[in-house]
Amino acid sequence: MTKIAFIGLGNMGLPMAKNLLSAGHEVHAFDLSEETVAKAVAAGAIAAKSVISCLDDVEVVVSMVPAGPHVKSLYLGDKGIIENAGKDTLFIDCSTIDVATAREVNTAATKAGFDMVDAPVSGGVGGAETGTLTFMVGGSEQAFNRAKPILDVMGGRIIHTGGAGNGEAAKICNNMLLAISMIGSSEIFTLGRKLGLDDQVLFDVASTSSGRCWSLDTYCPVPGPVPTSPANNDYKAGFAVDMMLKDLRLAKVAADDTGANTPLGALSEQLYTQLSESGHGGLDFSGVFQMLDEKL
C-alpha cells in the first residue's frame, strides 16, 4: 500500500484515483472543487483541504489538472508541491501540457532533489475508468522505474519516451498525426461522394489498401462502415473537438519554439479552430467530416 496525494479529480482524475483505491492504495484527494473531493471521498479517499495538507506523509503525488499554468501554480512557488513535499516524494504529473512547462517544472523538482515524471495519457475517460490508459512517460530512468508500479494500476501500456518533457512531446506528436489522419480520412469521403463513390465501397477499398489508418478503419468519420464510431451516434464525443484543438495548439507552440516544419499540423489547427468557433467544440473530433462535407 502506498500513500498517494491525488490532485485534480475531474473527468479523468476521479476514475484514475478510484483505480488506485481499488488496488488498496491510500489516496489523499485535493481539488479546487469541494464537490469533486466529496466524490473521491465517497469512493474511499481521504479529503485534503489544501495542496499542502494533501502532502502530509505521502510517498507519491499524482496531479491531473487542465493545463500548463495550473501545473506551474501547483508545483512552483512558496505554497507549491516542490517547496512543501517530504523528502523522496515522487511526483507524477499526468496532465496534458506544453513541453516547455513540463521541462521547467521537472528541472525545479530535480534541483530540489525530487524524482518527477510527466506522464500524459491517451485513452480518455473510458480508459481511465477501466484502468487501460496508455501513459507516455518522460523523466529519468530512476523516476520512471519508481512511477511504473503506480501507473500500472491506472494503465494498460506504460511507455518510457525519454527525458523530462518527452511524455508530453510524444502525446502531442501522436495527436497531431491523429488530427491530420482524421482530416485526410474525411476528405476522401467528401471527394468520393462528389465522384459518385459509395461510402461503404470506398471504405472497403481504402481500409484494406495503402491509405488505411486508425481514423479510417476504427473510427470512420462517415456513418455506416464502423458501427462503433461516433459518426453513427450524431458525432457525440468521444474525443471532443475542443480537446483535439487544445493538443493541436500545444503542437503548434512546440513547432514554433523548435522551428519544426509542420504545415499539415498548422492547417489542422486552423480547421479545428474553425469548427470550434462555429459552435461545435463539444462534437466528436470526427465531426470535421461534416464541416468538410458542408453539413455544418
Cα–Cα distance, 12 to 271 (Å, whole number): 26
d(CA 22, CA 224): 38
- Closer by beta carbon to ligand NAD, 80 or else 225: 80
CA distances from 24 to 1, 19, 261 (A): 6, 9, 47
Please give the distance of CA 119 from its chain centroid, rounded to a whole number.
Answer: 9
**Cβ at position 11, least distance to ligand NAD in Å:** 4
Site residue total, ligand NAD (CB under 6 A): 25
Q: Is the Cβ of residue 51 or residue 202 nearer to ligand NAD in the bound state?
A: 51
Tell me whether residue 8 or residue 221 sits nearer to ligand NAD (CB atom). 8
Based on the shown chain and the rule CB under 6 A, indicate whether residue 75 belongs to the binding site for ligand NAD.
no
- Binder of ligand NAD out of 4, 5, 8, 43 (CB under 6 A): 8
Q: How far is the CB of 51 from ligand NAD (least distance, A)?
A: 6
Taking phi over 0 as left and psi of -120 to 50 as alpha, with beta for the rest, 37 belongs to: alpha
Q: Which is nearer to ligand NAD, 35 or 141 (CB)?
A: 35
Is there binding between residue 18 and ligand NAD (CB under 6 A)? Answer: no
CB 280, min distance to ligand NAD, A: 17
The distance of closest approach from Cβ of residue 159 to ligand NAD in the complex, given in angstroms and rounded to an integer, is 15
Q: Is position 284 an interface residue for ligand NAD (rule: CB under 6 A)?
A: no
Nearest residue (CB) to ligand NAD, 38 versus 197: 38
Q: Which stretch binds ligand NAD (CB under 6 A): 26-34, 102-110, 162-170, 193-201?
A: 26-34
Per rule CB under 6 A, is residue 274 in the interface with ligand NAD?
no
Beta bridge partners of 134: 122, 157
> Which three cell numbers mark 77?
512557488
- Binding residue for ligand NAD, selected from 65, 176, 178, 216, defined by CB under 6 A: 65
CB of 172 to ligand NAD, least distance (A): 11
Rule CB under 6 A: which of 140-199 touch ligand NAD? Answer: none
Contact residues for 152 (Cβ-Cβ < 8 A; gap 6+): 158
Q: In the complex, what is the shortest distance from the CB of residue 64 to ligand NAD, in angstroms, rounded to a whole number? A: 5
Rounded distance between C-alpha atoms, residue 158 and residue 135, angstroms = 5
- CA–CA separation, 240 and 280 (whole Å): 9
> Whose CB is nearest to ligand NAD?
10
Instruction: Return the active site residues.
Output: 171
Residues 81-140 contacting ligand NAD, CB under 6 A: 95-96, 121, 124-125
Rg (CA), the chain: 20
Note the residues at the interface with ligand NAD (CB under 6 A). Answer: 7-13, 30-33, 36, 64-66, 70, 73-74, 95-96, 121, 124-125, 243, 246
